[in-house]
Amino acid sequence: MKLVWQRGAATVRDVYEVLLERRKIAYTTVMTMMKILETKGYLKKRRQDRAFLYRPAHPKNQIIRGMIREFIDRVFNGSAEPLLVHLVKSHHLRERDLQKIVRMVEESE
């Protein structure tokens, strides 16, 4: 659901129409979902004309980071290293690949 958010801001109708392409769903269902996301603090709303315009309450990066943390906690009891090991293994990463990433990150700092 939240992925539809990465279009900046959207009304219930916007989301509804996108979801409808993939599966049968009721308008009010989407509304309820968005309201829940709002009360949970993931979205904030603002009146725009007649409808509410929802937008993310926090920067995407922050949310993603939270999800990663939660995953690491749950699966690896909080330590990130094993996750890295797995990634390196199953994607056959070599030093070069990682260097590229480190460089990307360093440039953006």
Q: Which residues bind DNA (CB under 7 A)?
A: 11-13, 24-29, 31-33, 35-36, 50-52
Secondary structure element (H or E) that encloses residue 45, with its range:
strand 43-48
**Residue 8, number of CB atoms within 10 A of its CB:** 8
Residue 91 interacting partner from DNA, its own copies, none (CB closer than 5 to 8 Å by kind): its own copies
- Dig out the tokens for 103 from the structure: 């460089």
Shortest spacing between CB 38 and DNA, in angstroms = 9
- To the nearest 10°, report the CA torsion of 6, 8, 11, 14: -50
1 near its own copies, judged by CB under 8 A = no
* Closest CA relative to residue 58, chosen from 72, 71, 41, 73: 41
For its own copies, the binding residues in 27-86 under the rule CB under 8 A are 61, 64-65, 67-68, 71, 75, 80-81, 83-86
In whole angstroms, what is the distance from residue 83 CA to residue 91 CA? 12
Residue 20 interacting partner from its own copies, DNA, none (CB closer than 5 to 8 Å by kind): none
- Contact positions toward its own copies, by CB under 8 A? 61, 64-65, 67-68, 71, 75, 80-81, 83-91, 93-95, 98-99, 101-102, 104-105
